[in-house]
Amino acid sequence: MARQLSRIMRPDDANIAGNVHGGTILKMIEEAGAIISTRHCNSQEGEACVAALARVERTDFLSPMCIGEVANVSAEITYTSRHSVEVQVNVMSENILTGAKKLTNKATLWYVPLSLKNVNKVLEVPPIQYARKEQEDEGKKRYEEQKLDRLETKQRNGDVMLPVINPEPHTVGYSQSSLIHLVGPSDCTLLGFVHGGVTMKLMDEVAGIVAARHCKTNIVTASVDAINFHEKIKKGCVITVSGRMTFTSNKSMEIEVFVDADPFVDEPRERYRAVSAFFTYVSLSKEGKPLPVPQLLTETEDEKRRFEEGKGRYLQTKAKRQAQMQQAAQQ
Protein backbone atom coordinates (compact mmCIF):
# COMPACT_ATOMS: atom_id res chain seq x y z
CA MET A 1 0.00 0.00 0.00
CA ALA A 2 1.49 3.37 -1.03
CA ARG A 3 0.35 6.96 -1.20
CA GLN A 4 1.79 9.96 -3.07
CA LEU A 5 1.16 13.69 -2.76
CA SER A 6 2.54 16.39 -5.06
CA ARG A 7 2.58 20.16 -4.69
CA ILE A 8 4.50 23.02 -6.28
CA MET A 9 6.45 25.18 -3.84
CA ARG A 10 5.23 28.79 -3.70
CA PRO A 11 6.91 31.96 -2.36
CA ASP A 12 4.97 31.76 0.91
CA ASP A 13 6.48 28.28 1.50
CA ALA A 14 10.05 29.65 1.59
CA ASN A 15 12.39 31.98 3.45
CA ILE A 16 13.84 35.21 2.05
CA ALA A 17 16.60 33.25 0.28
CA GLY A 18 14.08 31.07 -1.58
CA ASN A 19 14.71 27.87 0.43
CA VAL A 20 11.51 26.03 1.37
CA HIS A 21 10.88 26.02 5.14
CA GLY A 22 11.56 22.70 6.86
CA GLY A 23 8.17 23.05 8.56
CA THR A 24 6.42 23.09 5.18
CA ILE A 25 8.10 19.81 4.24
CA LEU A 26 7.31 18.27 7.64
CA LYS A 27 3.64 19.23 7.25
CA MET A 28 3.46 17.53 3.84
CA ILE A 29 5.18 14.43 5.23
CA GLU A 30 2.63 14.21 8.06
CA GLU A 31 -0.32 14.70 5.70
CA ALA A 32 0.82 11.79 3.53
CA GLY A 33 1.36 9.62 6.63
CA ALA A 34 -2.03 10.49 8.10
CA ILE A 35 -3.86 9.64 4.88
CA ILE A 36 -2.25 6.24 4.34
CA SER A 37 -2.49 5.16 8.00
CA THR A 38 -6.10 6.32 8.42
CA ARG A 39 -7.05 4.52 5.19
CA HIS A 40 -5.34 1.32 6.39
CA CYS A 41 -6.92 1.43 9.85
CA ASN A 42 -10.37 1.68 8.24
CA SER A 43 -9.69 -1.07 5.66
CA GLN A 44 -11.59 -3.71 7.66
CA GLU A 45 -15.11 -3.68 9.05
CA GLY A 46 -15.34 -2.19 12.52
CA GLU A 47 -15.38 1.11 14.36
CA ALA A 48 -14.42 4.15 12.24
CA CYS A 49 -11.23 5.89 13.30
CA VAL A 50 -8.66 8.59 12.49
CA ALA A 51 -4.93 7.92 12.74
CA ALA A 52 -3.22 10.34 15.14
CA LEU A 53 0.50 11.11 14.96
CA ALA A 54 2.41 9.80 17.98
CA ARG A 55 6.05 10.20 16.94
CA VAL A 56 8.34 11.22 14.10
CA GLU A 57 11.77 9.58 14.04
CA ARG A 58 14.92 11.55 13.20
CA THR A 59 14.48 13.28 9.84
CA ASP A 60 17.43 14.56 7.78
CA PHE A 61 17.07 17.32 5.21
CA LEU A 62 19.41 15.91 2.57
CA SER A 63 19.08 18.69 0.02
CA PRO A 64 17.32 22.09 0.01
CA MET A 65 14.13 22.60 -1.98
CA CYS A 66 13.44 25.88 -3.76
CA ILE A 67 10.50 27.96 -4.93
CA GLY A 68 9.05 26.61 -8.19
CA GLU A 69 10.10 23.02 -7.59
CA VAL A 70 7.51 20.27 -7.10
CA ALA A 71 7.59 18.24 -3.89
CA ASN A 72 6.62 14.60 -4.50
CA VAL A 73 5.85 12.90 -1.19
CA SER A 74 5.43 9.10 -1.17
CA ALA A 75 4.35 7.10 1.88
CA GLU A 76 4.30 3.37 2.61
CA ILE A 77 3.26 1.32 5.66
CA THR A 78 6.21 -0.81 6.75
CA TYR A 79 5.09 -2.24 10.12
CA THR A 80 2.00 -2.61 12.27
CA SER A 81 1.72 -3.54 15.93
CA ARG A 82 -1.55 -4.17 17.70
CA HIS A 83 -2.20 -0.46 18.27
CA SER A 84 0.22 1.44 16.01
CA VAL A 85 1.30 1.92 12.41
CA GLU A 86 4.80 2.70 11.13
CA VAL A 87 4.91 4.76 7.94
CA GLN A 88 8.03 5.39 5.84
CA VAL A 89 7.95 8.63 3.81
CA ASN A 90 10.28 9.82 1.04
CA VAL A 91 10.30 13.35 -0.43
CA MET A 92 11.65 14.02 -3.92
CA SER A 93 12.07 17.51 -5.35
CA GLU A 94 11.43 17.90 -9.09
CA ASN A 95 12.49 20.72 -11.38
CA ILE A 96 9.59 20.72 -13.84
CA LEU A 97 11.59 22.75 -16.38
CA THR A 98 14.50 20.28 -16.65
CA GLY A 99 12.93 17.12 -15.21
CA ALA A 100 15.78 16.79 -12.67
CA LYS A 101 14.82 14.99 -9.46
CA LYS A 102 16.60 14.53 -6.14
CA LEU A 103 15.83 12.96 -2.77
CA THR A 104 15.41 15.67 -0.12
CA ASN A 105 13.92 13.84 2.88
CA LYS A 106 13.39 10.39 4.38
CA ALA A 107 11.18 10.08 7.46
CA THR A 108 9.58 7.47 9.69
CA LEU A 109 6.31 8.26 11.48
CA TRP A 110 4.21 6.35 14.04
CA TYR A 111 0.42 6.65 14.21
CA VAL A 112 -2.26 5.30 16.54
CA PRO A 113 -5.94 4.85 15.48
CA LEU A 114 -8.42 6.80 17.63
CA SER A 115 -12.14 6.03 17.56
CA LEU A 116 -14.45 8.65 16.05
CA LYS A 117 -16.97 7.85 18.79
CA ASN A 118 -14.51 8.08 21.70
CA VAL A 119 -11.26 9.99 21.15
CA ASN A 120 -9.65 8.36 24.19
CA LYS A 121 -10.18 4.88 22.76
CA VAL A 122 -7.27 3.40 20.79
CA LEU A 123 -8.45 0.78 18.31
CA GLU A 124 -6.67 -2.29 16.98
CA VAL A 125 -4.73 -2.02 13.72
CA PRO A 126 -5.32 -4.47 10.85
CA PRO A 127 -2.06 -6.41 10.32
CA ILE A 128 -0.10 -6.10 7.08
CA GLN A 129 1.49 -8.92 5.10
CA TYR A 130 5.29 -9.02 5.07
CA ALA A 131 7.31 -10.26 2.11
CA ARG A 132 9.90 -11.74 4.48
CA LYS A 133 9.89 -12.73 8.15
CA GLU A 134 12.97 -10.51 8.65
CA GLN A 135 10.91 -7.42 7.76
CA GLU A 136 8.48 -8.11 10.58
CA ASP A 137 11.32 -8.79 13.05
CA GLU A 138 13.13 -5.58 12.09
CA GLY A 139 9.88 -3.60 12.39
CA LYS A 140 9.20 -5.03 15.84
CA LYS A 141 12.70 -4.01 16.94
CA ARG A 142 12.10 -0.42 15.72
CA TYR A 143 8.76 -0.40 17.53
CA GLU A 144 10.31 -1.42 20.86
CA GLU A 145 13.13 1.13 20.50
CA GLN A 146 10.81 4.07 19.82
CA LYS A 147 8.48 3.01 22.62
CA LEU A 148 11.37 3.11 25.12
CA ASP A 149 12.68 6.43 23.80
CA ARG A 150 9.24 8.06 24.07
CA LEU A 151 9.02 7.02 27.73
CA GLU A 152 12.49 8.42 28.51
CA THR A 153 11.72 11.70 26.73
CA LYS A 154 8.46 12.17 28.61
CA GLN A 155 10.23 11.67 31.94
CA ARG A 156 12.68 14.54 31.27
CA ASN A 157 10.09 16.99 29.99
CA GLY A 158 9.68 19.17 33.08
CA ASP A 159 11.84 22.07 31.85
CA VAL A 160 10.40 25.57 31.49
CA MET A 161 11.85 28.56 29.66
CA LEU A 162 12.08 31.84 31.58
CA PRO A 163 12.64 35.30 30.06
CA VAL A 164 16.09 36.88 30.41
CA ILE A 165 16.57 40.63 30.98
CA ASN A 166 19.21 42.35 28.77
CA PRO A 167 20.90 39.15 27.55
CA GLU A 168 24.34 39.24 25.93
CA PRO A 169 24.70 38.24 22.25
CA HIS A 170 25.24 34.52 21.54
CA THR A 171 23.88 33.48 24.94
CA VAL A 172 20.90 31.15 25.34
CA GLY A 173 18.70 33.99 26.59
CA TYR A 174 19.60 36.24 23.64
CA SER A 175 18.13 33.96 20.97
CA GLN A 176 15.40 32.07 22.86
CA SER A 177 11.97 32.65 21.33
CA SER A 178 8.30 31.81 21.84
CA LEU A 179 5.22 31.81 19.65
CA ILE A 180 1.63 31.80 20.96
CA HIS A 181 -1.12 30.31 18.80
CA LEU A 182 -4.87 29.84 19.34
CA VAL A 183 -5.91 26.46 17.94
CA GLY A 184 -8.77 26.90 15.48
CA PRO A 185 -10.89 24.50 13.38
CA SER A 186 -8.55 24.73 10.36
CA ASP A 187 -5.70 23.37 12.51
CA CYS A 188 -7.59 20.24 13.52
CA THR A 189 -8.53 16.73 12.43
CA LEU A 190 -12.07 15.31 12.29
CA LEU A 191 -11.73 14.59 16.01
CA GLY A 192 -11.06 18.22 16.88
CA PHE A 193 -7.38 17.78 17.74
CA VAL A 194 -4.43 19.53 16.14
CA HIS A 195 -2.83 17.94 13.06
CA GLY A 196 0.69 16.81 13.87
CA GLY A 197 1.90 18.60 10.74
CA VAL A 198 0.52 21.94 11.96
CA THR A 199 2.38 21.57 15.24
CA MET A 200 5.64 20.62 13.51
CA LYS A 201 5.41 23.63 11.18
CA LEU A 202 5.03 25.99 14.16
CA MET A 203 7.95 24.29 15.93
CA ASP A 204 10.17 24.73 12.88
CA GLU A 205 9.23 28.43 12.67
CA VAL A 206 10.31 29.01 16.26
CA ALA A 207 13.52 27.00 15.83
CA GLY A 208 14.29 29.06 12.72
CA ILE A 209 13.84 32.31 14.64
CA VAL A 210 16.22 31.10 17.36
CA ALA A 211 18.84 30.12 14.77
CA ALA A 212 18.50 33.41 12.85
CA ARG A 213 18.82 35.47 16.03
CA HIS A 214 21.98 33.61 16.97
CA CYS A 215 23.69 33.80 13.53
CA LYS A 216 22.18 36.87 11.87
CA THR A 217 22.43 35.00 8.54
CA ASN A 218 20.28 32.85 6.26
CA ILE A 219 19.58 29.56 8.01
CA VAL A 220 18.01 26.26 6.93
CA THR A 221 16.79 23.14 8.72
CA ALA A 222 19.40 20.36 8.54
CA SER A 223 17.62 17.68 10.58
CA VAL A 224 15.05 17.03 13.26
CA ASP A 225 15.60 14.53 16.04
CA ALA A 226 12.65 12.41 17.10
CA ILE A 227 9.50 14.47 17.68
CA ASN A 228 7.38 13.00 20.47
CA PHE A 229 3.68 13.82 20.75
CA HIS A 230 2.97 13.20 24.43
CA GLU A 231 -0.63 14.43 24.61
CA LYS A 232 -3.34 15.56 22.20
CA ILE A 233 -4.00 19.29 21.73
CA LYS A 234 -7.67 20.14 21.46
CA LYS A 235 -9.41 22.84 19.44
CA GLY A 236 -9.68 26.01 21.52
CA CYS A 237 -6.39 25.50 23.33
CA VAL A 238 -3.79 28.25 23.41
CA ILE A 239 -0.39 26.72 22.67
CA THR A 240 3.00 28.23 23.48
CA VAL A 241 5.83 27.01 21.24
CA SER A 242 9.19 27.73 22.89
CA GLY A 243 12.70 27.31 21.50
CA ARG A 244 16.20 27.72 22.91
CA MET A 245 19.73 27.00 21.71
CA THR A 246 21.30 24.01 23.44
CA PHE A 247 24.49 23.29 21.46
CA THR A 248 26.65 24.66 18.65
CA SER A 249 29.38 22.96 16.63
CA ASN A 250 31.51 24.77 14.03
CA LYS A 251 28.78 24.56 11.39
CA SER A 252 25.52 23.57 13.10
CA MET A 253 23.15 24.56 15.90
CA GLU A 254 20.90 22.35 18.01
CA ILE A 255 17.68 23.96 19.19
CA GLU A 256 15.31 22.44 21.73
CA VAL A 257 11.63 23.14 21.01
CA PHE A 258 8.66 22.24 23.16
CA VAL A 259 4.95 22.91 22.95
CA ASP A 260 2.82 23.64 26.03
CA ALA A 261 -0.97 23.69 25.82
CA ASP A 262 -3.42 25.76 27.90
CA PRO A 263 -6.96 24.37 27.58
CA PHE A 264 -9.68 27.00 28.06
CA VAL A 265 -12.72 25.62 26.26
CA ASP A 266 -15.00 22.83 27.61
CA GLU A 267 -12.61 21.30 30.16
CA PRO A 268 -10.23 23.75 31.82
CA ARG A 269 -7.09 22.10 33.21
CA GLU A 270 -3.52 23.07 34.03
CA ARG A 271 -0.98 23.75 31.29
CA TYR A 272 0.69 20.57 30.04
CA ARG A 273 3.66 19.61 27.84
CA ALA A 274 2.27 18.25 24.56
CA VAL A 275 5.23 17.93 22.18
CA SER A 276 9.05 18.11 22.33
CA ALA A 277 11.94 17.80 19.86
CA PHE A 278 15.43 18.92 18.89
CA PHE A 279 16.01 20.74 15.58
CA THR A 280 19.41 21.17 13.90
CA TYR A 281 20.08 24.21 11.69
CA VAL A 282 23.00 25.34 9.55
CA SER A 283 24.05 28.86 8.59
CA LEU A 284 24.40 29.68 4.86
CA SER A 285 25.93 32.51 2.85
CA LYS A 286 24.03 34.34 0.10
CA GLU A 287 25.54 31.82 -2.31
CA GLY A 288 24.21 28.90 -0.25
CA LYS A 289 27.61 27.90 1.16
CA PRO A 290 27.94 26.76 4.81
CA LEU A 291 29.16 29.44 7.21
CA PRO A 292 30.82 29.08 10.64
CA VAL A 293 28.36 29.26 13.54
CA PRO A 294 29.12 31.61 16.48
CA GLN A 295 29.86 29.57 19.60
CA LEU A 296 27.03 29.41 22.14
CA LEU A 297 27.99 31.09 25.42
CA THR A 298 26.62 29.08 28.34
CA GLU A 299 26.13 30.83 31.68
CA THR A 300 24.17 28.62 34.08
CA GLU A 301 24.79 25.05 35.20
CA ASP A 302 21.63 23.91 33.39
CA GLU A 303 22.81 25.53 30.14
CA LYS A 304 26.22 23.84 30.48
CA ARG A 305 24.54 20.49 31.15
CA ARG A 306 22.26 20.85 28.11
CA PHE A 307 25.29 21.85 25.99
CA GLU A 308 27.15 18.65 26.95
CA GLU A 309 24.04 16.56 26.29
CA GLY A 310 23.70 18.20 22.87
CA LYS A 311 27.37 17.58 22.17
CA GLY A 312 26.81 13.90 22.93
CA ARG A 313 23.90 13.72 20.46
CA TYR A 314 25.98 15.55 17.84
CA LEU A 315 28.95 13.17 18.18
CA GLN A 316 26.66 10.13 18.17
CA THR A 317 24.96 11.27 14.97
CA LYS A 318 28.32 12.10 13.36
CA ALA A 319 29.71 8.65 14.21
CA LYS A 320 26.59 6.93 12.87
CA ARG A 321 26.78 8.89 9.62
CA GLN A 322 30.47 8.02 9.16
CA ALA A 323 29.72 4.34 9.77
CA GLN A 324 26.96 4.42 7.16
CA MET A 325 29.30 6.05 4.63
CA GLN A 326 31.98 3.42 5.25
CA GLN A 327 29.43 0.65 4.89
CA ALA A 328 28.15 2.12 1.62
CA ALA A 329 31.71 2.44 0.30
CA GLN A 330 32.38 -1.26 0.99
CA GLN A 331 29.30 -2.44 -0.90
Active site residues: 15, 204
The alpha-helical segments, DSSP class H, found in the chain are 22-41, 133-155, 172-175, 196-215, 301-330
The answer to whether 110 and 140 are in contact (CB under 8 A) is no
Residue-level length of the chain = 331
In sequence order, what are the residues at sequence separation of 6 or more whose Cβ sits closer than 8 angstroms to the Cβ of residue 222? Answer: 60, 61, 252, 280, 281, 282
In sequence order, what are the residues at sequence separation of 6 or more whose Cβ sits closer than 8 angstroms to the Cβ of residue 327? Answer: none
For 292, which DSSP code? P
For 112, which DSSP code? E
Give the chain's end-to-end CA distance (angstroms, integer).
29
**Single-letter code of the amino acid located at 134:** E
The answer to whether 8 and 47 are in contact (CB under 8 A) is no
